[in-house]
Amino acid sequence: MDPRAFSRTAAPAAALALLVLVGGTGCTGGDTGVRGTPGAVGLRDPYFPKLGNGGYDVRHYDLTLDYDPAGDRLKGTAEITARATQDLSAFHLDLRGMTVEGATVDGVKAAANRAGGELTVRPRDDIDKGAEFRTVIRYSGTPETIIGPDKSEEGWLPTEDGGLAVGEPTGSSAWFPGNHHPSDKATYDIEVTVPKGLKAVSNGELTGERTSGGRTTFAWHEAQPMASYLATLAVGDFRVTSSRTPAGLPVLTAVDPAVAKDSAALLGRIPEVMEWGAKNFGPYPFSSTGAIVVPTDEVGYALETQSRPVFPVDQFDEETLVHEIAHQWFGNSVSPASWQDVWLNESFATYAEWLWMEDVHGTPVRKPFDAAFADDANWAFPPADPPGEEDLFGGPVYQRGAMVLHKVRQAVGDETFFSVVRGWAAKYGHSNATTDDFVTYVEVETGQDLTELWDVWLYGDKKPARP
C-alpha cells in the first residue's frame, strides 16, 4: 500500500542527491530506453534506516509455511505481489537469518543475494515503473529470536510445543521476507502446516483446515491492510473457540491449555470491550477479533497483532485487553508513518485504558493523569522524539502521550474531543499518519490554535508546573 512521506524526517538534500547518484539514473540501455535502477536498501526510518525497501509497494503477501517444532525448523514460500514505484533493475527485501533456496520474478528465475538483513533480488528483465510484479522466495531454516533494542525478545520465540511470532518493531523479518516497514501495509494469506494435533493461529479469518499424512494445514486470511510488525503466528497445543459479538463480528480465541482456566473469564469479555471501543472510536476496522493467550514465560509483553492480540497470561488483565483492542484502531488501522510516530499508537492505547477506568469503574481520568504526571521517568524526553530506538516503548511514549490527549480533551471539551478521535480514526484508517498529520488534524477540526499545548506537552523538554 502507499507509504506516506515522513514529514518530520526528510533526509537532507545532500543525502538525497547522493542516493540518486548511487542509483545511477544516467545510463541508458539500447532500445529499452532508460534502464531501471536498484530500489533503495531502506526507507530511511529515523530509528531503523535500513528497515523497509524502496522502489516498490507491496499489495499482498501469500505465505506458505511449514513448521516442525521438534527441529525448530521453518520452511517457507513467500509469494509477494507488489507494484514498482520506479524502473527497477533489482530490489531489496528484509530477511534475517534463514537460507534462501531460490527466487523468481514473474515466474522467471532471479538472482538472490544476502547481506545482513537484506536480500537483494535481481530479475532477468527490468521491472517497469507502475508495473505489478510477483516475486516468489523459497527459504528455510531455524528462525531467529531477535533481542530488540530495549532488550526484549521478538521475531520467532520457540515454545515447549511450537513457537510464537511477534514483530514489533522489526521482528517479522525473522520469519518471512518482505518490506518490513510500517509504511508499506498489505493484505495477507498465511497458510501454515504443522504436525497433526497442534494448531497454527494467525491474523484474520480461518479460511481452511485440512489434515493429511499426519500434518494439518491452517489457512488464514487478513483482508485489511496490515503492517508486517502486526503479523503473528502461534503454533502449539491451543484451545480454539469461535463465536460472534452481538454485532455479528467473528471472535476467535486461542488459549494454551495450561492457562485456559485463568483466562476464561476475561476472554468472555472481548465482545463488551469491542462494543465499548466502537462506541468511543468509531466502527471497528477489521473483519474479526479475538486473542491468543500463552504462558508467561513465552513472551514478555502483550502485542496488538492485527485482529488477534497476543497476551502472556500474567498480563491478560482488563486494562491490557482494553489497550490491545484500542490499538486495532490506533496503530493497526491508523499506522505510524515511521517509528518516530509510535507515540500515536501508544498514547491512544494508554488513554483508552484511562477512559475505560473512568467509564466502567468510575475512576476519573484525573487519577492516572496525576500519577503519570508525578513520575519523572515520564518526562525523560518528548513523546514524539525518543532519543534512541531503545526508548521507543518508554514511559514518555505511553504515559506522557496519553497526557497529551487528555490536555487536548480538556482544551476542546468532551464532545469535540470524541468527535476528533473518531474523525482521526476514520480519516487515516487503513493508512499511515505522522505526528504533524495529527497536530494539523486536531487544529483544523477544532478550529483552535493549540500551539502552546503542543509546545509544552508534546514537544517540550521540561516538565511544566502541575496543571
349 in contact with Zn ion (CB under 5 A) = yes
Point out which span in 84-92, 281-289, 295-303, 406-414 binds ligand ARG (CB under 6 A).
295-303
Among candidate residues 352, 296, 284, the one with its CA nearest the CA of residue 323 = 352
Q: Degrees (nearest 5) of the Cα angle 414, 415, 418?
A: 80
163 binds, among Zn ion, ligand ARG, none (CB under 5 to 8 A by kind): none
Q: What angle do CA 273, 222, 422 make, to 5 degrees?
A: 45
Phi-psi bin for 204: left (phi > 0), alpha (psi -120 to 50), beta?
left
Q: Kindly state whether residue 418 participates in binding ligand ARG, applying the rule CB under 6 A.
A: no
C-alpha cell at position 74: 521453518
**In 227-380, beta strands by DSSP E:** 233-236, 239-244, 250-255, 289-294, 310-312, 334-336
Q: Are strands 334-336 and 431-433 parallel, antiparallel or unpaired?
A: parallel
Q: What is the C-alpha to C-alpha distance for residues 202 and 254, in angstroms, rounded to an integer?
A: 10
**Considering only 10-18, 247-255, 349-357, 421-429, which stretch makes contact with Zn ion by CB under 5 A?**
349-357
Told to check if 168 binds ligand ARG by CB under 6 A, we report: yes
Candidates 25-33, 150-158, 187-195, 245-253: pick the segment binding ligand ARG (CB under 6 A).
150-158
Q: Tell whether residue 298 is a contact of ligand ARG (CB under 6 A).
A: no
Q: Which of 62, 79, 150, 389 binds ligand ARG (CB under 6 A)?
A: 150
What's the rounded Cα separation, in Å, for the pair 119 and 94?
6
Of 161 and 391, nearer to ligand ARG (C-beta) is: 391
Residues from 406 through 435 that contact Zn ion (CB under 5 A): none
Q: Does 325 bind ligand ARG (CB under 6 A)?
A: no
Nearest CB to ligand ARG, comparing residues 118 and 304: 304
For residue 223, what is its C-alpha cell?
A: 483482508
Binding ligand ARG by CB under 6 A: which of 226, 302, 334, 412? 302
Q: Does 51 bind Zn ion (CB under 5 A)?
A: no
Among the listed ranges 103-111, 262-270, 344-352, 399-407, the one in contact with Zn ion (CB under 5 A) is: 344-352
- Paired with 132 in beta bridges are 83
Residues in the chain: 467
Query: Does 154 interact with ligand ARG (rule: CB under 6 A)?
Result: yes
Residue with cell 486536531: 442
Half-sphere exposure of 361 (CA within 13 A, CB side): 12
Stretch that binds Zn ion, among 121-129, 332-340, 341-349, 371-379 (CB under 5 A): 341-349
- The entry of Zn ion, ligand ARG, none near residue 139 (CB within 5 to 8 angstroms by kind) is none
Site string for ligand ARG, 329-348 (x = CB under 6 A): -----------------x--
d(CA 302, CA 440): 31
CB 35 to ligand ARG: min, Å: 41
Strands 205-212 and 145-147: unpaired
Binding site for ligand ARG (CB under 6 A): 148, 150, 152, 154, 168, 301-304, 323-324, 346, 349, 393
